[in-house]
Chain A
Amino acid sequence: ILNVEQSPQSLHVQEGDSTNFTCSFPSSNFYALHWYRWETAKSPEALFVMTLNGDEKKKGRISATLNTKEGYSYLYIKGSQPEDSATYLCAPGNAGNMLTFGGGTRLMVKP
């Protein structure tokens, strides 16, 4: 069983603040790193899939980086908005695309 850790567990920021959180995972048997955004009562929404060391991906105000050698990924949100409030999940996957999820970072953005 992979040990996937996300920090912090929860985060309260003001609208307009930029923020980032961390996902750490064992670097052995790694194939891809998935980030999801999960709002209450909705489906988890796929944000990024990254595979290569040094990958950087961006979607609007959200971006992510990947370091497969040391086993971590950062997710950044620039200029947080109340609609960014959600739980952000990371999940490393192996070659069979079996995902192991971290506990998530719960982000709350205050207007």
Chain B
Amino acid sequence: SAVISQKPSRDICQRGTSLTIQCQVDSQVTMMFWYRQQPGQSLTLIATANQGSEATYESGFVIDKFPISRPNLTFSTLTVSNMSPEDSSIYLCSVEDNWAGNEQFFGPGTRLTVL
């Protein structure tokens, strides 16, 4: 299965600032996803990171707030812009492993606290 790393593992940020989260995979994958889990809530899909084109955002999420880059098949970034305390969440990237029956594998997550 794919091995996924994320940076940073956690951060505490001030309101109004932005944070970029990196996701690195040890093999080339077609599909990469970004999720978040707000306190007490389900894991929710933010967007699908498409290589070479704009990300596909789910309802309730917009590019201005969560810009995503996908420069190649092993790397993606998610930026949380103009943060507010409501953005305090765990952010996870995941990849679809075509060699493992399309299972999705997750990174360890980035725990973000916005003051």
Contacts and interface: CB of A to CB of B under 8 A. Distances in A.
Given A34-B104, A43-B4, A43-B108, A99 B42 contact: no
Interface in B42-97: 42-45, 48, 59, 92, 96
Given A1-B59, A49-B101, A49-B103, A42 B108 contact: yes
Contacts of B4: 43
B45 A99 contact: yes
Contact of A101 (B31, B42, B101, B109): B42
A36 B42 CA distance: 13
Interface residues of A, number: 21
Interface residues of B, number: 22
Contacts, number: 44
A34 B103 contact: yes
Contacts of A102: 42
A101 B44 contact: yes
A101 B43 contact: yes
A52 interface: no
A98 B43 CA distance: 12
A44 interface: yes
A4 B4 CA distance: 27
Interface of B: 1, 4, 31, 35, 41-45, 48, 59, 92, 96, 101-109
Given A32-B102, A34-B104, A100-B45, 15 more contacts: A1-B59, A41-B108, A42-B108, A43-B106, A43-B107, A44-B43, A46-B1, A46-B103, A46-B104, A49-B101, A49-B102, A97-B102, A97-B104, A101-B44, A104-B42
6 contacts: A4-B42, A32-B102, A41-B108, A46-B103, A101-B44, A103-B41
Interface of A: 1, 4, 32, 34, 36, 41-44, 46, 49, 89, 91, 97-104
